[in-house]
Amino acid sequence: MALKILLVNPAIYDFAAYDFWLKPYGMLSIAGYLRNKAEFQMFDYLDREDDFYKTHKTRSDKYNKGRFFSQPTANPEPLKNITRKFSRYGLPRGLFVEYLKNNDSTEFVMIQTTMTYWYLGVKEAIDDLREYWPATKIILGGNYATLCYEHALKTGADLIVKGVDLRPLWDYLKIVPDLDQPGLWEIYKNLKVGVLKLTDGCPFKCSYCSVPKVYNGFKQRSMKRSISELEMLVKLQVSDIAFYDDSLLYKFDEISGPFLDEIIKRQIKVNLHSPNALNARFITADVADRMVRAGFKTFYLGFESKSVKWQKQTGGKVFSYELAQAVEHLKNAGVDAKNITAYQIVGHPKSDLQELEDSIRYVNSLGIKTMLADFSPIPTTPDSQLCSKLVNMDEPLMHNKTAFPIISLGFEKVDELKQLAKGLNRNIK
Ligand code: SF4
């Protein structure tokens, strides 16, 4: 009899959470490698297409982003001085307990972890699993498991998969994976949003980012597998696909360019998005044109600051004139300015060099939207050294992206910057 595995995507405990095309892609990919070799069930607390939402409607925008069901809860002790509303986001805990009571236990449970400071949701799921399915072996993987390995050991999971080397997992399960298989998307009863990832890693080394350490370089994924994943998502009739690549446009002519051409050639009609931020440096007129023809609808560009000093000190991934050029190319390709957004980090430990107000105004002067991306200090990054002067980096809750900018800049400054960005964005039609 095939091995039975339950996949769990935990609830989120945070000051804010929004479904920005969030899917547990790492876990779905792993389950896909084991397609036909194990029997899967899934409990995704963050699935907004779950039947629960039929009676607890939350608003979605036209590209299927939207709010999660949420319940207010007390701030955890380390965040008690951050006087903002704290909530639990996702399907109610009782539904998972009911699920565990009404179903036979599986041999294994895999839990996807995402942000390091979301571990309370992971802990909640593990506590319930231990109570109702005590014999089940629990496996953790993902960002929290990788970046806070020592802390994750304390959750009581049986196996923690650190990083991207999956060999310990295959040994533990005693299954040989089929790495050509796409993610296990068919496990969802209703699916509107899918995810693709054509590459791993990034050629840059920004001082605030964990990607260089986790992936150690840049690598293309199998094109054959990416195409079969695309075919699968199209067959499942998703309307939106988000690319989870960290550097989608690097080596465009070899990787994402041919992939987008395939979408154009097959006349696939799906909305494409880039929540992880595109590098403006790589957006030429040709790249913009092919992205638009393939179906890209929203364009999120990583910018962070207009200060050359700050840009150089943090890795020099993009300079201001490159952002301006990219915006020009996108507009010429027919992109509506209100669908172009440049992210800027707020709360970075070198904020004094960042010229944030000027940076916000600069983005606005290009006629596009600005989005302040709250800075989260990430263990293992060069900047985490600086951050440890402000917070205890061994407590993952202190990596919280709402809390850190407030600790670093103060409530008033953060509010002032957000009001400035909000006000200027109103002019972008
Ligand atoms: S370019 Fe983006 S993904 Fe790459 S290291 Fe910098 S922030 Fe990280």
From 206, 210, 219, 314, give the residue whose CB has the most ligand 1 atoms within 8 Å, as the site to mutate.
206
CA of 156 to the centre of ligand 1 (A): 32
Ligand 1: atom nearest CA of 205 is: 5
Distances in whole angstroms, Cα of residue 415 to Cα of each of 28, 374, 418: 38, 12, 5
- CA of 246 from ligand 1 middle (Å) equals 7
pLDDT of residue 156: 93
Q: What is the pLDDT of residues 6-57, one digit of tens each?
A: 999 999 999 999 999 999 999 999 999 999 999 999 999 999 999 999 999 8
- Return the pLDDT at 74: 97
Q: Contact, 207 vs 375, CB < 8 A?
A: no
Tens of pLDDT, residues 320-369: 999 999 999 999 999 999 999 999 999 999 999 999 999 999 999 999 99
Q: What per-residue confidence (pLDDT) applies to 429?
A: 79
Q: What is the DSSP string of 324-392?
A: HHHHHHHHHTT--GGGEEEEEEES-TTHHHH-HHHHHHHHHHTTSEEEEEE----TTSTHHHHHTTTS-
Asked if 80 and 110 count as a contact pair (C-beta separation under 8 A), the reply is no
Average pLDDT over residues 169-181: 97
How many A from CA of 206 to the centre of ligand 1? 5
Give the relative orientation of helices 356-365 and 411-425 as an angle to the nearest 10 degrees. Answer: 10
| Per-residue burial over 9-29, b = 16 or more CB atoms within 10 Å of its CB, e = otherwise | bbbbbbbebebebbbbbbbbb
**246 ligand 1 Cβ < 6 A:** yes
Nearest to 329 by CA among 371, 301, 358: 301
Written out in words, the top-level CATH class of the domain with range 3-173 is alpha beta
- Residue of 43, 92, 85, 84 lying closest to 68 (CA atoms): 92
Question: Which pair of tokens denotes residue 148?
Answer: 């806070």
C-alpha count within 13 angstroms, C-beta hemisphere, residue 173: 27
Average pLDDT, the chain: 96
- At residue 361, φ and ψ (nearest 5 deg) are -65, -35
Q: How far from chain centre, in Å, is Cα 46?
A: 13
pLDDT confidence of residue 1: 58
Place of tokens 């596009």: 368
Helix (H, G, I), strand (E, B), or coil: what is residue 422?
helix
CA nearest 361: which of 410, 288, 428?
428
Boundaries of every domain in the chain: 3-173, 192-425
Residue 125, strand partner residues: none
Type of residue at 300: Y
Q: Which atom of ligand 1 sits closest to the CA of residue 302?
A: 2
CA-nearest residue for atom 6, ligand 1, is 206
274 lines ligand 1 (CB under 6 A): no
Beta bridge partners of 19: 66
CB of 317 sitting under 6 A from ligand 1: yes
Q: In testing the pocket of ligand 1, which one of 143, 147, 199, 202 has its CB within 8 Å of the most ligand atoms?
A: 202
pLDDT digits (tens, 9 = 90+) for 176-210: 999 999 999 999 999 999 999 999 999 999 999 99
| Ligand 1, atom nearest to 315 Cα | 6
Q: Is 315 in the pocket of ligand 1 (CB under 6 A)?
A: yes
pTM reported for the whole predicted model: 0.96
pLDDT, average across residues 289-318: 95
Q: What pLDDT score does 428 carry?
A: 87
Q: Which atom of ligand 1 is nearest to the CA of 209?
A: 8
Q: At what angle do helices 285-294 and 320-332 cross, to 10 degrees?
A: 50
Question: Which is nearest to 256 in space by CA: 232, 234, 288?
Answer: 288
Query: Can you tell me the mean pLDDT for 134-154?
Result: 97
Decide if pLDDT at 264 tops 90.
Answer: yes
Residue nearest to atom 8 of ligand 1 (CA): 209
CATH code of the region 192-425: 3.20.20.70
